Chains A and B, each alone.
Chain A
Amino acid sequence: MTLSSKIEIAKIISENLALRDLVSNFFDDLEKMKEKQITIDFKKVKSISRSFAQEYLTRKNTSKKDINEANVPENVEKMFEIINETEKRTPLIDLKTVKIICV
């Protein structure tokens, strides 16, 4: 039998998932659990930053656990999609066109 567990991330971290280091700490704790299958429940989550989402997906993809999500709000789902879709960035500002003013 495979042990499984469900964790409400809003209770562990916050309803506003903001800071990258908190994802790392969260996953460090997950890796120590005896259960192999873990469901991260996003119930009550109101917002997620890009940094948080990016770190979450990175840690999930390299985790030894089988991690899946439940009750993912639309805004969180969209952020995950954006992270997964991002392949190449183009520079926003061309330095050659910017004049430096001495103050």
Chain B
Amino acid sequence: MAELEFPNQLNNYLIFCNFKNSSIETKVLNLQTVSWLYPTTLLPLGVFIKENSKKIKYVPPANQNAANYISLVIGEFKVENGLKTYIPIIGLPPKVAEKDSEKFLEQIFKLHNNGKEYGGENAFKYLINELVDNIYQHSEFKNAFVMAQKYEKKGFVEICFFDDGITIPGSFAKKGMVFEDAESIIQAINGLSTKGKERGFGLGSNLKLFTKGLSGELLIVSGNGAAYFKGNEPTKLYKLRDNYRLQGTLISVRIPYPAKEVDIYDFIK
């Protein structure tokens, strides 16, 4: 299968698309054979299940552990105390209540022990802060969510952000900057900003810190475009067919765990 040649995170996004497309056609979301889903699949799928609970019948996995996990992750859109290895799907406060996002961020930091095992407190907070700020600054979302899962045996944490906003190409297009969707992701990484020349450092500095500082992996899906970055490997850009289109932006990061403390200032200049 050609899909096996794609990076894992992209494959996991495509799994979400396949479930979504099939359920729209059949009115049944059948997860019976599922034994595990990564956040890159589960975050957009969980939001889809929530939003379509009256239109589409949900058949949970036969595997009871998987069924319980999915139920727990998507059941409550709020942080619960005492969870050690994952953050369930939680919603960002809306733009008008952006002040409350400080509490939201504090919850994420707390549940990850302030990032001490993910490259250090400075690095972890920098990554999360810049990603969340980007969502508020550019996406014009109605709904935005985060979910994370730590895989201790596999040695990484996967953190996903998903918003249903105007997409990266849509944000550029509003200012008369028209690019192919995949190209627009690279333009954003390279620092082109819709808000002036002194802006636009967030995504690029995050990419350097993620991939070079922490040896992590980063997938960005927005509209009909996707981009995947890993270490010094060549950037992979994807033009997605309409049935793989995402109305919004999904950012999926994998950070090796535990990761040694990095000096962020080597990467964010």
Interface residues of A, Cβ cutoff 8 Å to B: 13-14, 16, 18-22, 25, 46-47, 49-52, 54, 58, 75, 78, 82, 85-86, 89, 91-93, 95, 97-103
Contact B201 A98 (CB under 8 A): no
Contact B129 A19 (CB under 8 A): yes
Contacts of A49 in B (CB 8 A): 125-126, 129-130, 133
Does B140 belong to the interface (CB within 8 Å)?
no
Contact A99 B122 (CB under 8 A): no
CB distance from A12 to the nearest CB of B (A): 10
B58-107 contacts to A (CB < 8 Å): 98-99, 101-102, 105-106
Contacts of A13 in B (CB 8 A): 102
Contact A47 B137 (CB under 8 A): no
Does B121 belong to the interface (CB within 8 Å)?
yes
- Chain B contact-residue range equals 35 or more
Q: Which 5 A-B residue pairs are closest in the complex by CB-CB distance? A: A49-B129, A18-B129, A14-B102, A91-B190, A47-B125
Main secondary structure of the interface of A (DSSP, over half): mixed
In the complex, A92→B231 CA distance in Å?
Answer: 13
Does B20 belong to the interface (CB within 8 Å)?
no
Contacts of B105 in A (CB 8 A): 14, 16, 18
CB-CB contacts of B189-218 with A at 8 A, as 1s and 0s?
111000000111110110110000000000
CB distance from B208 to the nearest CB of A (A): 7
CB distance from B81 to the nearest CB of A (A): 19
Contacts of A54 in B (CB 8 A): 198-199, 201
Task: Identify the closest chain B residue to A89 (Cβ).
Answer: B191
Task: Identify the closest chain A residue to B125 (Cβ).
Answer: A47
Contact A103 B102 (CB under 8 A): no
CB distance from A53 to the nearest CB of B (A): 10
In the complex, A54→B133 CA distance in Å?
Answer: 13
Contacts of B190 in A (CB 8 A): 89, 91-93
Contact B189 A92 (CB under 8 A): yes
Contact B239 A20 (CB under 8 A): no
Knowing A51-B133, A54-B198 touch, does A75 contact B122 (C-beta < 8 A)?
A: yes
Does B234 belong to the interface (CB within 8 Å)?
yes
Does B109 belong to the interface (CB within 8 Å)?
yes
In the complex, A15→B53 CA distance in Å?
Answer: 39
Does B260 belong to the interface (CB within 8 Å)?
no
CB distance from A31 to the nearest CB of B (A): 18
Does B144 belong to the interface (CB within 8 Å)?
no
Contacts of A97 in B (CB 8 A): 234
Contacts of B122 in A (CB 8 A): 47, 75
Selected from A51, A78, A101, the residue in CB contact (under 8 A) with B202 is A51
